Chains A and B, each alone.
Chain A
Amino acid sequence: MRASLLLGPVVATFFVAVSGVAHAGTFDVDGRFSFDTRAILRETFVSNDAQKAMTIVDAADALEGGTLGLVDTTSSSYTLALNLPKTDASYRARMFLRKNRAVVTLSVGYPADGGSPGFFARFYPTGVVTSDGWYEVVTAPFSFQGSRAATTSVNVSGNGVEIDAFEIVPEGAFRALSACIGVGDPVCRGNEACMSGWCRDGNLFLPPLPPPSEMDDVVTYFENRFRFFFGGRASRETRLPIAIATLEEMRKAGSGWEFWNGLGMGLRRLHDWHTTINGPVSVGGRGALPVCFVEGDGDLSHGLAPADPSYADVLVSHVGPSKNLGLKAGDRLVAVNGMHPIAFSETLESVDWGMWRADDPRVHAEPVERMSGLIRRFARNFTIVRCASDGTCSAPEVIDIANLPVDDGTVQSPYCDHRPGYHLSANGPNPLTHDTYNGPFHGLLADSQSGENLYGMIWDDVYLTDPNQNPYAESMDEFRAKASGVILDHRLGNGGTAYAAEYLTSLFRTPKLLGASTGFHLTTSLYDAPFTPAQGLDLFQIYSPVGGDAYNVGDGSAKVNDMPTALLLARDGSASDWFPLGMVDLPNVRVFGRRTAGAFSSFIEFDYFGQFSWRLASGDLVHPDGSTQLGTGVPPAEDLVPKQSDLVQGKDTVYLRALDWIRTCTGCR
């Protein structure tokens, strides 16, 4: 279906004054809808070009024309191609929806002519509603370069949602995107942010600015969501006041971007592993950089670039097969925009909607995992030191983002799983794609000598709810029957469920009640200072008898006497915090690698229009002595990172140390 260009204006007869928010069309005194008189394009949904995702339905209460579109996009979305005038102008798109929420996005693409990139604009509700269930959604005004042979479409995704009365109306002044060099570039205006080299109109990603009559209430309402439901003891004490102060700034916002990015910054400044935002602000990076980084020890290159006292070095772990700048395992990312890469990531709070931080402030694996995307979106340049397998390194080399290889759609980016290598003798993850998300993988270690019976498991998710559908049972059964030593490679730990964390400890330790989840934070000042051990003990006594909230690790049948077990960690949080917590301080188990994120809570999800959703961490883990755990990651027995001198020779430092330990440990059998 292609929306038609109007030949003349439709005469509206009545204007319903609803607020200062822009609204579509007009309704007469009898509630009959008419398109906006200024509309240059309209769609009444009277026919369909055989897209299965949308059917035309006769409906007496359609807004316009006696028919409407019924969108049901279980397998595909509905796309409406648009034919806008071939002139540069600013427009706003509008439509009405009913019966459900839909994700509606207007996309504009331009040819590769050296000009500004294409963009998309999300539709959000204005608050205009009708008694028969319709509600209006609009984009912010968008500047469209019709002179550049643009392609334009609207995409609708939803289930059982009715759509009608789509129109595009001239609004605002055209303004071409400006090029920019990085975050904070003053060339970008208040409603813009510099992303991937261009000042992006943030209003296009986000809901409109609330009207003045509602703005203060909305800010206070969101502040109270934070106050009432966020976090546990430590995160409320250290981060909540900072986040609330950030939300206060929303009251001064002059645009939708400034307002909603204020909410985003408030969430990001909670510095919480679970508290993340999905969806609304998404800009592709420039060029190709199919490279995965890890925290490491650049031992070969400290003479060329000294180590930072605050952060670990950042090394290349593995790369995609092409367009990788010739980078290879062991090369070092010394700086981004002249800063340590992790410090650079921490400067992006105002623009990086994917920002992801651990609760424990000593933990930085998360931004390192995201580094390639951060560079492609937000950096001007980055500095690398290349090192060869003979241990020699070249002088630091600054690479401008403009010199990244072109991403022509063929780039294969491996999964960044913090594992430089795999060590199973068979059936391990794909060493090119690092597809560990398809695990668990398990079996005999390639290094196991005759009679050693050393086994391993590689997996990312700690997820189990039904004991009859247990993805780990086969591994555990194999270890119980055959293993004389085990290496558990959980260097990427996405968490899952507490029940899975309990189960995974059951082969390796005897039973113990370690603590209890306090559920969501649902008592408004539960952890407010001064929070005493006696109060914590009170919580423990409440929740430890509750099935599913007590954290009971181990099992009476655990194999503790003849199977030393090494647990490898690098980027682990939530249930992947809980599991290691159950594996420390045991003679037969030793943890190698990095401290976990300290994300000992669950979260509440919030979901708004435009794929704008976020999570707010809620709850804590309380110990039998009344102390709380959120914010403190599980420390490894040996804090280890990959060494540059090992990586350049294809060696996996952390694994090799673990292998040595299970072979030579004393008191572990």
Chain B
Amino acid sequence: MRALLCMVAVCTLVACSTDEPKPALPAPLPTVDPPPAAGPIRTVGYRNPLGNTRVVDNLMVDGDFELTGRTGQMPWQAFDKNGQATLTYDTGGRCRSGVRCGSFIKGQNLVGYFAVPDTGNVVVTLYGKPDTGKCSDLHAYVYDLAGIASASSLVQAAATPDATGWCTYSGVAKGLAKLEPVIYLDNVGGRVLVDEAVALPASGKLMLDAVQPPPPDGATLARAHDIAEWIRRNRPYGVSPRHAD
């Protein structure tokens, strides 16, 4: 059983062979474009304040940071060297979906929970907006908090952001049924906004390309392991005192 469960792998979407069906990605949301240099001082738009709920079967608990608080056992949790840290945000049209997004600084790690089906693979996509303009500031992984499945990397689609400033990170996660899958983020540069994470069952048969994304290094795995330990030890089993009216 354990050997079977360890068969987790991720390949980049671009690295998968071309004759296989591509997993469906959510349709892009209308964006609030940054104003031209000599144009309006700002642009105005509308977002569903609950996030990209058009992806009704998003397996992320809260891919859009709209239902996530700053501390506690939330869909996303931030960590620093002292344990759980306060998750900070940015807002409005600076975000990619909804009215809030994660504002992720160097020295922190972010953990975002998602579900997987009993069988089959899961396509994971998220977006990061680095202040430095370098997509490599954000390292993204799929990790099993139970420590049974092997961790794997998500891969950035390009070295530099798209015209709206966002970088895309994606991959295919396999073999996480019955385990505790999370997106695990590491920031090695300046501030990065994170938003619109989507996990969906992969449609069709996916094949692994010979070119695999590099696995997380030892230091990353050790850090992720420490965070997983912290989560398990501090996992709340209870209510706040004086719950009653």
Interface of A toward B, CB cutoff 8 Å:
16, 18-19, 21, 27, 29-32, 61, 97-101, 124-135, 207, 210, 214, 217-218, 220-221, 224-225, 228-229, 273-274, 276, 285, 354, 356, 366, 369-370, 372-374, 415-416, 437, 460-463, 465, 494-499, 501, 517, 519-526, 538-539, 541-543, 546-549, 573-576, 578, 599, 601-609, 613
Contacts and interface: CB of A to CB of B under 8 A. Distances in A.
A522 B181 contact: yes
21 contacts: A31-B35, A61-B41, A217-B56, A218-B48, A224-B57, A229-B61, A273-B239, A465-B234, A498-B235, A519-B146, A522-B180, A522-B181, A526-B177, A542-B1, A548-B235, A574-B238, A602-B237, A606-B68, A606-B74, A607-B67, A607-B72
A546 B145 CA distance: 10
Contact of B99 (A31, A135, A462, A573): A135
A380 B147 CA distance: 55
A547 B236 contact: no
Interface in B182-225: none
Interface string B110-126: 00011111100000000
Contacts of B114: 522
Contact of B146 (A127, A546, A573): A546
A283 to B, nearest CB: 11
Contacts of A373: 244-245
A218 B53 contact: yes
A133 B93 contact: yes
B81 interface: no
A316 B18 CA distance: 73
A659 B235 CA distance: 35
A605 B73 contact: yes
Interface string B140-162: 00000111100000000000000
A437 B244 CA distance: 12
Nearest to A228: B115
A496 B238 contact: yes
Contacts of B56: 217, 220-221, 224
Contacts of A210: 48, 50
B3 to A, nearest CB: 12
B239 A276 contact: yes
Contacts of B106: none
B90 interface: yes
Q: Shortest 7 CB-CB distances between A and B: which pairs?
A: A495-B238, A548-B232, A373-B245, A607-B69, A31-B42, A18-B46, A125-B49
Contacts of A19: 46
B15 interface: no
A522 B179 contact: yes
A99 B62 CA distance: 19
B237 A129 contact: no
Nearest to B62: A606
Given A99-B90, A574-B237, A18 B44 contact: yes
B116 A522 contact: yes
B45 A129 contact: yes
B241 interface: yes
Contacts of B75: 604, 606
Contact of A578 (B40, B89, B237, B242): B237
A31 B41 contact: yes
A567 B234 CA distance: 25
Contact of A607 (B43, B46, B68, B233): B68
B131 interface: no
Interface in B1-42: 1-2, 5, 32-35, 39-42
Given A98-B91, A605-B69, A130 B239 contact: no
Given A221-B53, A546-B147, A100 B89 contact: yes
B93 A131 contact: yes
B48 A524 contact: no
Contacts of B180: 519-520, 522
B58 interface: yes
Contact of B67 (A132, A575, A606): A606
B108 interface: no
Nearest to B241: A437
B233 A497 contact: yes
A43 B236 CA distance: 42
B115 to A, nearest CB: 4
Interface residues of B, number: 75
Given A501-B237, A522-B115, A607-B68, A494 B243 contact: yes
Contacts of B133: none
A133 B89 CA distance: 11
Contacts of B32: 129-131
B45 A18 contact: yes
Contacts of B68: 606-607
Interface string B53-84: 11011110110001111001111000000000
Contacts of A525: 117-118
Nearest to A495: B238
A639 B222 CA distance: 48
Given A132-B93, A218-B53, A541 B1 contact: yes
A604 B48 contact: no
A228, A461, A498, most chain B CB atoms within 10 A: A228
B129 interface: no
Contacts of B235: 497-498, 517, 548, 602
Contacts of B145: 519
Given A18-B45, A130-B45, A519-B146, 15 more contacts: A125-B49, A131-B35, A217-B53, A218-B48, A461-B238, A498-B235, A522-B179, A523-B115, A524-B118, A542-B146, A546-B147, A549-B232, A604-B73, A604-B113, A607-B72
A122 B34 CA distance: 30
B46 A526 contact: no
Contact of B237 (A495, A524, A546): A495
A548 B59 CA distance: 25
A130 B93 contact: yes
A369 B41 contact: no
A100 B91 contact: yes
Nearest to A492: B241
A31 B233 contact: no
Nearest to B33: A131
Contacts of A547: 229, 232
B91 A97 contact: yes
Given A132-B94, A520-B113, A575 B238 contact: yes
A494 B239 contact: yes
A217 B64 CA distance: 15
Given A31-B35, A501-B237, A607-B69, A16 B232 contact: no
Nearest to B236: A602
A135 B91 contact: yes
A498 B234 CA distance: 9
A129 B241 contact: no
Given A100-B89, A221-B50, A519-B180, A549 B74 contact: no
A402 to B, nearest CB: 20
Contacts of A98: 91-92
Given A61-B41, A228-B115, A127 B238 contact: no
Contact of B61 (A16, A132, A354, A604): A604
B238 A132 contact: no
Contacts of B59: 228, 524
Contacts of B147: 546
A133 B91 contact: yes
B57 to A, nearest CB: 6
Contacts of A224: 56-58
A613 B69 CA distance: 9
Contacts of A228: 59, 61, 115
B100 interface: yes
Contacts of A519: 145-146, 180, 232
B241 A460 contact: yes
A607 B229 CA distance: 24
B67 to A, nearest CB: 4
Contacts of B42: 27, 31, 61, 130-132, 134
A498 B237 contact: yes
Nearest to A571: B244
